Structure 1
Amino acid sequence: MRETEISDAALLARAGTLQAEGAHVLRVLRLEDAFAGFGPAQVVGSMVSGLMVWRDLDVVFTAPHATAVDVFTALARLATVPGLIAVDYRDEREQRRPTDRIEDERHYLVCRYEGAGGLWKVDITVWLHAVERPTLAEAEHLAAHVTSEQRLTILRLKDLWHRSPHYPYRIGGTDIYDAVLHHSVRSPEDFSTYLRVRDLPISPHEPH
């Protein structure tokens, strides 16, 4: 193990600690109360898979009739929670949507919450089209089926890359999962090879 690397035991312990902290944050925020009328809050991502390396939560709602006014009304309720220190709102409808798919129109919020061990980033997506999305099922599949070796590799690669300027928009968790689960990547060197073939930055320190 390189001197700067975190041990396997510490990676696993941190993931467990972050998952417990994240569950507490969700209880405190009470997002279903703030976003009443938006449907159930669905937690997705690494909070579900257990593959956490930093304080980041992803929550989605599906509310086809939600307007920007509705979202800001919900934010006014959320703002009463002590510890919420910042919110970035993005109207990602029509040509501003994150993909070419019309069904990916959404209201998108990035919240910063101070508590439960440190500063948390809480992403809230309000989808405007009720379509089947694989996000939750994929996280649940990871939680249930990833092997011990794969879990450690994923945690180590995420630990190595999550502070990179390329993460998560050029290289993200989905790339790491694909590399480990489907391309037998087991080390940072293997992952660099995986990235090189795809003409992506091969080092987390490579200039943006």
Structure 2
Amino acid sequence: MSVLDLSPVIPVVVLDDPDRAVPLARALLAGGVGVLELTLRTPTALESLRRIAAEVPDVHLGAGTCVRPADVHAAVGAGARFVVSPGTTPSLVAAARDAGVPLLPGVATVSEALQALEMGVSELKFFPAEQSGGAAFLAALRSPLPGLRFCPTGGVTAANAPDYLALGNVGCVGGSWLTPDDAVRAGDFDRVRDLAAAAAGLRG
């Protein structure tokens, strides 16, 4: 199954404290969201990946903000089952293929989407979504580029997610609203579970 078909929303998670990783992943799973993208934006991100992979194996674990081939290999070594990048380069595509995992690379223009298609990549992250034309831009791409599917990320919220999910070329959206920083820092994982439950029911 494609990563884009696992959930209407892929939570985009930034974690400073690896001790929060497992309870957060369990809360998302309890809410009905069995996938997450943990970004490599903190020094402890790989440790958080390792803990989730070991202790919450039912979660389809991804690693985001992979910007170099080394990031891809480190993330996969820590247990990531897919990787996400804010952009698309031949070296990232090659690294993901070498590691044997799906890559969801970012694009923001028609030319970038065509370049990804030339590299054999047809499932893409549209980033930053709201700043790059939003749902209207993706709707305009459906006819000329019918073979592409997208996960819009960047400025996507519970309020505008249905606009994206209503599009035929959008499989899911990525968003950080499921794991608010204040809730994670406070250990309020019931709130995370409830936000995940609401997201799991989102349909355009």
Q: TM-score, normalised by structure 2?
A: 0.28
Where relative contact order (Cα < 8 A, 6+ residues apart) is larger, the structure is: 2
Q: TM-score, normalised by structure 1?
A: 0.28
Pair member with larger Rg:
1
